[in-house]
Chains A and B, each alone.
Chain A
Amino acid sequence: MIRSRTPRLAARAFAFLGAAFGAALIGGSSPRAQPLVADLSRHLIAIGSGFTGTEVLLYGAIEGEGDVVVVVRGPEERVVVRRKERIAGIWVNRKSVVFDRVPAFFAIAASRPLDRVAPAPLRELHHLGIETLDFVVAAALPPDDVKTFREALLRNRVRDGFYAAKPGKVGFVGSRLFRTRILFPANVPTGTYSAQVFLIRDGEVISAESTPLFISKIGFQADVNFLAHNQPAVYGLIAIAIALMAGWGAAAAFRKA
């Protein structure tokens, strides 16, 4: 389903790219030309019953020289990181640190290696790269502890495919048009995402743009989820009724057969 849609999306994206390129050519000499335009191939990722992860194309055009860096962030959440310790031979969760404002998803792509595109202070300022994410720690703790727990959180998120360990590639078509693909795993958290695009020249941000991206469950999956969270008692009773009918029905049916 997704596969068959991709060429169409790509075609649409290219049509847009063509238009953007045309506009860039025409508007090239105009003083009001935008240094950066960018958009996503779609702004809604629908999680239906066949969802196994997907990718979104981010494309755009720049005016003049420069590098493009793309950052996609998921909704922020609160997480607790726990460390196991061995007690009487068994591994038990002991120490824990609560982090606030942790993005549920983080991906980054750049047209050249990040350290060559942006100096450390700039990367720090705009959170370019997972190592620059500054989560809020809920309680006062020794900095060494916070550091190990922070690293563990990043490692965990990278392993689950929610954070990109290495920046992806922003590809250029000619000197103005750029595009990159953002991959979302099957278990991607739902919510409002943002795709930020930076145009960086000589270590400075010339222009930046941000577009929203919505990820939500649709159809039957969304109905099930909605009922489970908004009418949990009704949902529970339905679950029991299904089980009783299925069990009793199967026994009666197989007895006759």
Chain B
Amino acid sequence: MQIYLPIAEMSANVFLLLGMGGVIGFLSGIFGVGGGFLMTPLLIFIGVPPAVSVATAADQIVASSASGVYAHWRRGNVDFKMGSVLLAGGFVGSSFGVWLFSILRDLGQIDLIISLSYVLFLGIIGTLMLMESLRAMLRQRRRGPRPRRKLHQHYWIHGLPFKMRFRRSKLYISALMPISLGLVVGVIVGIMGVGGGFIMVPAMIYLLGMPTSVVIGTSLFQIIFITANVTFLQAVNNQTVDVVLAVLLMIGGAVGAQFGTRVGAKLRGEQLRGLLALLVLAVCIKLLVDLVGVPADLFSVQRVLNS
């Protein structure tokens, strides 16, 4: 059954779109990630224009993160204060990201920048995750004692001004830290059409030193608002949000995530992270190959709006 997507201006198979949403929802359920980093490249791959893919994926992530935060919120695993401070930076960063997106699109460089950002971030995150999970697996095999994390580690970051107390995260750190983290990740969200959880979560653990229990819930909480901001700005500036496409992806994603969560609960943490790392690296390599390989046609055509 074909459906015409009014903003993407193309006809696509309903079941393909539902299935894509389902598979990505399933994977996000298993791994506890938003899945935007898979959704946007997949949409581009099936022929949705990159600008529409990025904007529509942002709208879909609003839904998946709202759905994901529900369980964490009920268990009290959301640090709303930390989330709000991250958001302060995130709003500025994501707005800048969308502005940059429009400029790059007019220059004809947006496809390149999207691909390069994906290769860069997925490459780094995937490698780090793979190394970390391999180390964890080896450690478990040796049954060695786990190195205990110190409760208070002091480095230069703790010397920064504007200190704030985050009770839920058991932290007393400078507000500048989460604000700048939110800012940087926000720019990435605006350009790449992702939720940014794959960067935010490790950064919250290793950079801010937040306890793992509140990290995912807090990350999801702020992703809702950042991707909502990106959706709104993309809709206003570029008219590239396709609601019909987004709703189909949301439906598939909601169903897929439910099954994914159940499967995910049965797998071990290190295995899970190892598999996710491989998935991330696979997407990264695919995009890298496309960037380096000789294109089928060196020329591309773009309609100029407001001519």
A-side residues, CB < 8 A to B, are 47-53, 77-85, 89-93, 96, 98, 100, 149, 152-153, 155-157, 159, 186-187, 189, 217, 220-222, 224-225, 228-229, 232-233, 235-240, 242-244, 246-248, 250-252, 254-255
| Residue in B6, B247, B295, B307 whose beta carbon sits within 8 Å of that of A100 in the complex | B307
B295 in contact with A50 (CB, 8 Å): no
CB distance from B217 to the nearest CB of A (A): 13
B112 in contact with A92 (CB, 8 Å): yes
11 additional A-B residue pairs with CB within 8 Å, beyond A51-B4, A186-B11, A250-B250: A79-B303, A82-B300, A91-B292, A229-B239, A242-B59, A242-B63, A242-B243, A246-B251, A250-B67, A250-B254, A251-B66
| Residue in B2, B291, B299 whose beta carbon sits within 8 Å of that of A152 in the complex | B299
CB distance from B106 to the nearest CB of A (A): 9
B4 in contact with A186 (CB, 8 Å): yes
| Residue in A79, A96, A251 whose beta carbon sits within 8 Å of that of B71 in the complex | A251
Within 251-265 of B, Cβ neighbours of A (below 8 Å) are at 251, 254, 257-258
The SS class assigned to the A binding surface is helix
The distance in angstroms between the C-alpha atoms of A82 and B112, with both chains bound, is: 13
Interface centre among B4, B60, B68, B236 (most CB of A within 10 A): B4
A-B contact count (CB 8 A): 189
A246 in contact with B250 (CB, 8 Å): yes
How many chain B residues touch A (Cβ–Cβ < 8 Å)? 56
| Residue in B68, B241, B251 whose beta carbon sits within 8 Å of that of A236 in the complex | B241
Among B124-132, B170-178, B196-204, B227-235, the stretch that binds chain A is B227-235
A225 in contact with B108 (CB, 8 Å): no
The distance in angstroms between the C-alpha atoms of A254 and B302, with both chains bound, is: 43
The distance in angstroms between the C-alpha atoms of A229 and B236, with both chains bound, is: 8
| 5 nearest A-B residue pairs (beta carbon) | A247-B66, A236-B235, A152-B299, A78-B307, A251-B70
Across-interface contacts of B59 in A (CB, < 8 A): 239-240, 242-243
CB distance from B5 to the nearest CB of A (A): 9
**B119 to A, closest residue via Cβ:** A90
Interface centre among B11, B116, B237, B247 (most CB of A within 10 A): B11
Across-interface contacts of A91 in B (CB, < 8 A): 291-292, 294-295, 298
Given A244-B224, A246-B247, CB of A79 within 8 Å of CB of B302: yes
CB distance from B226 to the nearest CB of A (A): 12
The distance in angstroms between the C-alpha atoms of A228 and B241, with both chains bound, is: 8
Across-interface contacts of A93 in B (CB, < 8 A): 108-109, 112, 300
CB distance from A88 to the nearest CB of B (A): 10
Given A82-B108, A224-B243, CB of A186 within 8 Å of CB of B302: no
CB distance from B262 to the nearest CB of A (A): 11
Given A187-B9, A235-B241, A236-B232, CB of A79 within 8 Å of CB of B301: yes
The distance in angstroms between the C-alpha atoms of A49 and B11, with both chains bound, is: 9
A236 in contact with B3 (CB, 8 Å): no
CB distance from B243 to the nearest CB of A (A): 5
**A87 to B, closest residue via Cβ:** B112
The distance in angstroms between the C-alpha atoms of A240 and B114, with both chains bound, is: 23
CB distance from A118 to the nearest CB of B (A): 28
B-side residues, CB < 8 A to A, are 2-4, 6-7, 9-11, 59-60, 62-68, 70-71, 108-109, 112, 116, 224, 228, 231-237, 239, 241, 243-244, 246-247, 250-251, 254, 257-258, 291-292, 294-295, 297-304, 307
**A104 to B, closest residue via Cβ:** B303
| Residue in A48, A89, A155, A232 whose beta carbon sits within 8 Å of that of B297 in the complex | A155
**A224 to B, closest residue via Cβ:** B6
| Residue in B62, B244, B298 whose beta carbon sits within 8 Å of that of A84 in the complex | B298
**A236 to B, closest residue via Cβ:** B235
Across-interface contacts of B112 in A (CB, < 8 A): 90, 92-93
Across-interface contacts of A228 in B (CB, < 8 A): 6-7, 235, 239, 241
Across-interface contacts of B294 in A (CB, < 8 A): 91
CB distance from B10 to the nearest CB of A (A): 5
The distance in angstroms between the C-alpha atoms of A246 and B298, with both chains bound, is: 41
Across-interface contacts of A77 in B (CB, < 8 A): 303-304, 307
A-B contact pairs, 5 of them (CB 8 A): A79-B304, A221-B244, A224-B244, A225-B6, A236-B241
The distance in angstroms between the C-alpha atoms of A247 and B247, with both chains bound, is: 10
A52 in contact with B297 (CB, 8 Å): no
| Residue in A229, A233, A236, A248 whose beta carbon sits within 8 Å of that of B66 in the complex | A248
Across-interface contacts of A217 in B (CB, < 8 A): 6
The distance in angstroms between the C-alpha atoms of A189 and B301, with both chains bound, is: 15
B302 in contact with A80 (CB, 8 Å): yes
The distance in angstroms between the C-alpha atoms of A90 and B290, with both chains bound, is: 9
Across-interface contacts of A222 in B (CB, < 8 A): 6
B108 in contact with A221 (CB, 8 Å): no
